[in-house]
Amino acid sequence: MAHGRLGMLLGQIRQLVGAPPAGDQSDARLLERFADQRDEAAFQALVRRHGPLVLGVCRRVLRDHHDAEDAFQATFFVLARKAGVLGRRGSLAPWLYTVAYRLALRARADASRRRDRERRAAATLPTQADDGGRADLRPVLDEELDRLPEKYRVPLVLCYLDGKTHEEAARELGWPKGTVAGRLARARELLRRRLTRRGVTLSTGLLGTALAENASAAVPAGLADSAVRAALLFAGSQFGAAGVVSGPAALAEGMLRAMTMTYLKGVTVLLLGLSLIAGAGVWTHQALTAKPPAAALQHADQAEAKTPAPEAPAAKKDDRLEVKNLDASIARLLRERVETLRKACEVCRKQYQNGTISLSDCLASKRQLLEAELQLSDDPKDQLAAHERFFKFMRELEKTEQARVSAGHTTYQGLLLTKAARMEAEVGLLRARKRVLAAAGRKAGK
């Protein structure tokens, strides 16, 4: 096939120019090569490196080996589709473990529903040798491991399931070795307590043994090769094309939709929170600036007439000078903050275009700049100009994301996030225009 010949040709060229072989490169570098060049050799290296970990968890959750192989392939389908947005991770192992485990759970639920529809009896589990009850413990371990906070789950996956030493895990995660050791100890204790609550009592030593028994499984060469070929087709949105098995593809599509919905829910909650904060600010401003009723003003005037006003102490000249100096210092710092954030935004924009930071980081830097510009001036016209710059940036970013999606360089998820941010910017712009018109109306009324 064309992809295979191209991958072989690129591999030969790299050997001629002295580039390091794919197996010697980091996960981040292999992922970058695949995302940018659709380099088949890079993706093959990732499957060889992490396939045993993925197949191990799929087989523990799914006792049927056909279902396990479907979940295995679906995991690498998801990786192929998400390669452009995963960023520079130290190791893919923890992410792949989580995706594989949740895909296996989906496959198990699908199989159960299928059996119910077809009115079949539950499949009999294969007979296994007596291993002290740990065979039944393995699925429970995966379940509780998936529920651990990420900072504890990641070192456990790397050191116990992926076979890394403390030094290797520390290097891949960018953590000090002591941090890895400390979090491993805390993770084992959390895991032991959770297992105890479920009626499984293990010492620390037995828990380590049980985790080690959950380690990798050998991947048949044919399964690895078919997963690579099908994932390349799936990454090119050729769902249903020759070579893409419908079971793994359907599993992967379901997982990708779930990821998108989870992400969009987070964005919606964030935007709702921002809207509530903005609404509360407007309400508070209106409450503070609203004029009291005429009757209340008349009553207050009468009370004030009867009560002699206390003599205000004369402000000292030094105090007035200090207040003036403080105002000047605040204004200067606000201006410097805006200039600093403008430079930071420009750097972030270039890094985002180069793929070294995520879209979310780029958006966050631009929102910080908008907030600083709004604090710099209370003039409605100045604030309108800030909102216009923010909206223009978001509109251009949306066009860029649309072009990247059309070219197959990123996923639809990033485009949806950009659309939401552009709509947020447009709402802010319209509100700013409304305030300018209201201020002009009040001025004309005077």
Q: What are the structure tokens assigned to 383, written together?
A: 């604030």
pLDDT value of position 8: 45
pLDDT value of position 239: 40
Q: Which stretches in the chain have pLDDT values below 70? A: 1-23, 87-89, 118-136, 213-216, 237-246, 262-317, 354-356, 408-411, 413, 446
Distance, CA of 254 to CA of 247 (rounded, Å): 11
End-to-end CA distance of the chain: 78
pLDDT value of position 3: 43
**∠ CA(389), CA(395), CA(396), 5° rounding?**
90
pLDDT value of position 47: 95
Closest CA to 156 of 28, 53, 69: 53
pLDDT value of position 283: 54
pLDDT value of position 242: 42
Distance, CA of 366 to CA of 347 (rounded, Å): 11
Instruction: Assess contact for 49 and 27: CB atoms under 8 A.
Output: yes
pLDDT value of position 132: 43
Instruction: Assess contact for 192 and 208: CB atoms under 8 A.
Output: no
125 CB contacts (<8 Å, ≥6 apart)? 63
pLDDT value of position 133: 45
Q: What is the dihedral of CA 410, 415, 418, 424, to 10 degrees?
A: -170
pLDDT value of position 71: 94
Residue where the block lists tokens 């953590």: 175
Distance, CA of 79 to CA of 76 (rounded, Å): 5
pLDDT value of position 75: 95
pLDDT tens figures, 165-214: 999 999 988 899 999 999 999 999 999 899 888 888 887 777 877 777 66
Q: How far is CA 357 from the centre of its chain?
A: 12
Dihedral over Cα of 364, 366, 372, 375: its sign = negative
Distance, CA of 201 to CA of 302 (rounded, Å): 79
DSSP secondary structure letters along 186-247: HHHHHHHHHHHHTT----HHHHHHHHHHT---PPPHHHHHHHHHHHHHHHTT-TTSTT--HH
Closest CA to 173 of 26, 356, 53, 31: 26
User: Which residue type, as a one-letter code, is found at position 108?
Assistant: R
pLDDT tens figures, 324-376: 788 888 888 888 888 888 888 888 877 777 666 777 778 888 888 888 888 88
Q: What are the structure tokens assigned to 96, written together?
A: 């792949």
Instruction: Assess contact for 149 and 186: CB atoms under 8 A.
Output: no
Instruction: Assess contact for 253 and 239: CB atoms under 8 A.
Output: yes
Q: Is the pTM of this model over 0.75?
A: no
pLDDT value of position 123: 44
pLDDT value of position 311: 52
How many of the other CB atoms lie within 10 Å of CB of 262? 9
Instruction: Assess contact for 135 and 63: CB atoms under 8 A.
Output: no
pLDDT value of position 294: 54
Residues, the chain: 446
Q: How far is CA 205 from the centre of its chain?
A: 35
